[in-house]
Structure 1
Amino acid sequence: MGRFIKGIMGGFSGKVGNIVGGNWRGISYMRSLSERRNYTPTEKQLMQRARFAYAVSFLQPIHPVVRVGYRNQASQQSPLNAALAHVLKKVVEGEYPDYRINYASLEMAKGLLPGPQHPAVQLQDQTLTFTWRDGAAILKDYGDNQVLLLAIGDGIYPSYSIGEAVRNDGQATLAIPDAQTGTVLHTYLAFLAVNGNSVSNSYYVGEVSL
């Protein structure tokens, strides 16, 4: 798009041939019309688009989690795009149109903070209880780290928690929505610095059957 102060006959508004003129906040501009593309995508392009759409739909419900968990991985892109690149590369499996999620390969956070030691999870009365046992040295320097929790699975809306507990607590709980008996949840745990500038790698705690 080009801008001009005064043309041969002053500024103009509208379309002349493939040129469009107008005025925005007192600035006259000209731009050319974009060319219409009239083509049929190849089968490979359709497959790539479907895989991309599948990955995006998977990430949308956990956007608040990856926005925090990938904030340090996004020097040239948004946290969501960084997470999307990870999901497309390591998490989405299968062939078109039967894609599936490899939950054990999912990382909801990537960073340099110490991760949890001896993490575990138990389910009781629709509540997941996460536990960990960090050493005294880690707790001394990182005890105020906030806790990130995630539970996700096929056919159930994900449940997550950000900052409702701290590393010093040694445990944190996460309520889950109602789901059919036998539904498998995949659980994850990570830590976030109080200032929000750094996170730990997430840890895949394991599966829980409802």
Structure 2
Amino acid sequence: MTAITKPTVLITGCSEESHDDVEILPLDVTSASSITSCVDAVEKRTGGRLDVLVNNAGAMFSMPLLDTDIDQSKKLFEVNVWGVLARVYNTSKAATRWLSETLRIGMKGLGVRVVTAMIGEVNTKIYANGLAGTGVMQREAEEPDVTAENLVRDVLSGRDGHVWHGGVVAGRAKYFHWTLPERFFEWMLLATRGVYQIKPPQQP
């Protein structure tokens, strides 16, 4: 097989929709043997060079922390955190964020840029494929093509560190994160999501 000469990108966790110049490879990010097989396949197709790696693989889990099933949570971390090395959802995403920042600092001297994509609401199948949750509160989702184009532009323009995309929520989060007190920032993100309507059960 002739090696690919154009710049190459490996995106984990993609859907099976076909596009021109896109080849779908099997990959389970929680399986060492699957990762090894995928790496071997990429090396053969690219001649040993990969220009961009997008750690997109992930699972969705939406559940109050105290009601969370530990076994399901472990499976989530296997995919969303340890799968990045070899995201209950918000805590695992936070872990991945700072893992990426650590990689950015450590890899900079080697000429490798690490971009941490802070994605808000995108109209994907993540809730349909998730362990729990329906996405009913996701009302201002951005279309995947728009998010993808913005991320490609960030990578090709030389950006590194945090970039924010994915509808109105991502835009709010980007600016409020740096300008507002933590509790007010929290309220701005959660005020319309039903969190503050949670009440203790009535005593008989």
TM-score of the aligned structures, taking structure 2 as reference length: 0.26
Larger Rg: 1
Structure number with the higher helix fraction is: 2
Structure number with the higher strand fraction is: 1
